[in-house]
């Protein structure tokens, strides 16, 4: 018989079976229920609504953890659901497997795909429930469950152990639609999305990660400045920064720039951090904005971002950060044929790399200085300036430039 033609889809038999289990498991609690078909049907609808938020799979367990049992515990903790016989859901779960509404995953033990017919069937109860508070309680339990589960999956996916990492990626792939559903609930309820998004960002498919960024960027507009001034805003600083980094990986530089700008706006609005803390967080964002502008060959814009980053690195006396910024500023000036500016930036970077004893970086800077020297007409002043930094003679530097050329 086709599942869509099964009697429990088209009649009250399914309700009766569930309510029978409920009365049997709860004894006297079942006696309080009306024996009328209408009352039993309402109870069954509310009970089945507990499964409605699941969008792709329902897991009974993974790596020895009773995941479905953890979800039931979350349901029991919701005040709006205290009248429901939650324990009966375990029996419903088993019945759904027997009836083919939940299909075992062929490779991953303990995971069950939701038959599309079953998914539509469950959503009808969620959407037609006459008690909105029940739906809120179920959604809150689902969100709490996946907030905890998201942290667990992320820990596995980022593990140094190869088998654990593979398990984490497998769980995230299977649970992706559920994680997305939980994320949307969190955004609508204005709850933290950190753990859930961390799991989504650990998804091995980069395109799936990118979908998350679009959703969050759109829903950020629903938050007030006051709501984003506290911990919620701090959470979104982390999330949007990760989204921007992913967009850069995908070569979506214009989108990444918008996301990094959003991070700066969120930082400016925060009241839970002092100015020094904000400045430390602004620095890598400004540096990345410089990179996105460079990738788009927007050199003036890149210079503007990098100069702002340079001010911060100077305030915190970070020689390493300043040397990197000077190098990037030199490249931006060189691309605009501003030879004197490029020379000055590269010389400052060279001096700092010498102090840091970074020979590899020194070689890169010398190669860029050669390019400036060559492009600016082999002016003798540049070898003198380089010699002053290196402690060589000007003749030695000029000879090095002429002999080795671009191989420096």
Output the CA torsion 178→184→189→191 (10° steps): 80
Which among 206, 8, 270, 278 is positioned nearest to 121, based on CA atoms?
8
Number of other CB atoms surrounding residue 145 within 10 Å:
21
> Is pLDDT at 281 greater than 90 in this prediction?
yes
What percent of the chain clears pLDDT 70, i.e. is strictly above it?
A: 85
Confidence of residue 194 (pLDDT cuts 50, 70, 90): very high
Length of the chain equals 408
Collapsing DSSP to helix, strand or coil, 188 comes out as: helix
pLDDT (tens digit, 9 = 90+) per residue, 68-120? Answer: 999 999 999 999 998 889 988 888 888 888 888 889 988 788 899 988 887 87
User: What pLDDT does 305 receive?
Assistant: 97
> Is pLDDT at 30 greater than 80 in this prediction?
no
User: What pLDDT does 205 receive?
Assistant: 75
Mean pLDDT of 35-58: 70
Confidence of residue 207 (pLDDT cuts 50, 70, 90): low
Number of other CB atoms surrounding residue 4 within 10 Å:
12
> Is pLDDT at 129 greater than 60 in this prediction?
no
Q: What is the pTM of this model?
A: 0.79
User: What pLDDT does 83 receive?
Assistant: 86
Q: Which residues pair with 112 in a beta bridge?
A: 58, 104
Answer for the pair 198, 150: CB distance below 8 angstroms, yes or no.
yes
Q: What is the mean pLDDT of the chain?
A: 84
> Is pLDDT at 7 greater than 70 in this prediction?
no
Mean pLDDT of 38-54: 72
Among the ranges given (2-6, 173-177, 293-297), the one the predictor scored with the smallest mean pLDDT: 2-6
Q: Which residues pair with 186 in a beta bridge?
A: none
pLDDT (tens digit, 9 = 90+) per residue, 94-105? Answer: 888 888 888 998
Answer for the pair 92, 21: CB distance below 8 angstroms, yes or no.
yes
User: What pLDDT does 66 receive?
Assistant: 85
Residue with tokens 């964002």, as numbered in its chain: 285
> Is pLDDT at 386 greater than 50 in this prediction?
yes
Number of other CB atoms surrounding residue 39 within 10 Å:
12
């Amino acid at each position: 018989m086709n599942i869509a033609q099964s009697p429990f889809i088209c009649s009250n038999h399914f309700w009766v079976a569930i309510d029978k289990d409920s009365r049997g498991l709860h004894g006297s609690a079942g006696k309080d229920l009306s024996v009328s078909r209408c009352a039993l049907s309402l109870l069954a609808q509310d009970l089945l609504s507990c499964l409605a938020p699941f969008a792709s799979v329902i897991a009974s367990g993974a790596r020895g953890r009773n995941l479905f049992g953890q979800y039931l515990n979350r349901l029991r903790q919701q005040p709006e659901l205290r009248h429901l016989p939650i324990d009966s859901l375990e029996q419903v779960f088993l019945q759904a497997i027997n009836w083919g509404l939940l299909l075992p995953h062929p490779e991953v033990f303990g995971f069950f795909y939701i038959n599309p017919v079953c998914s539509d069937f469950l959503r009808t109860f969620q959407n037609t429930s006459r008690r909105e508070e029940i739906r809120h309680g179920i959604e809150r339990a689902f969100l709490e469950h996946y907030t905890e589960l998201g942290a667990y999956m992320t820990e596995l996916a980022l593990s140094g152990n190869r088998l654990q990492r593979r398990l984490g990626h497998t769980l995230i792939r299977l649970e992706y639609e559920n994680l997305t559903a939980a994320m949307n609930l969190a955004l609508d309820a204005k709850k933290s999305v950190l753990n859930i998004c961390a799991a989504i960002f650990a998804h091995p498919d980069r395109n799936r990660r990118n979908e998350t960024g679009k959703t969050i960027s759109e829903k950020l507009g629903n938050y007030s400045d006051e709501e984003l001034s506290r911990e919620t805003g701090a959470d979104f600083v982390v999330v949007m920064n990760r989204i921007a980094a992913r967009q850069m990986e995908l070569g979506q530089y214009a989108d990444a720039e918008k996301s990094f700008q959003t991070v700066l706006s969120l930082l400016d609005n925060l009241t839970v951090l002092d100015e020094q803390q904000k400045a430390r967080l602004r620095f890598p964002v400004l540096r990345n904005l410089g990179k996105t502008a460079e990738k788009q060959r927007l050199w003036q814009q890149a210079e503007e971002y990098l100069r702002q980053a340079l001010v911060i690195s100077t305030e915190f006396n970070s020689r390493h950060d300043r040397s990197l910024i000077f190098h990037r500023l030199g490249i931006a000036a060189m691309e605009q044929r501003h030879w004197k500016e490029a020379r000055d930036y590269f010389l400052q970077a060279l001096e700092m790399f010498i102090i840091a004893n970074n020979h590899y970086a020194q070689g890169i800077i010398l190669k860029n200085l050669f390019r400036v020297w060559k492009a600016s007409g082999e002016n003798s002043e540049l070898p003198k300036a380089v010699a002053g930094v290196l402690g060589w003679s000007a003749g030695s530097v000029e000879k090095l430039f002429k002999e080795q050329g671009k191989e420096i």
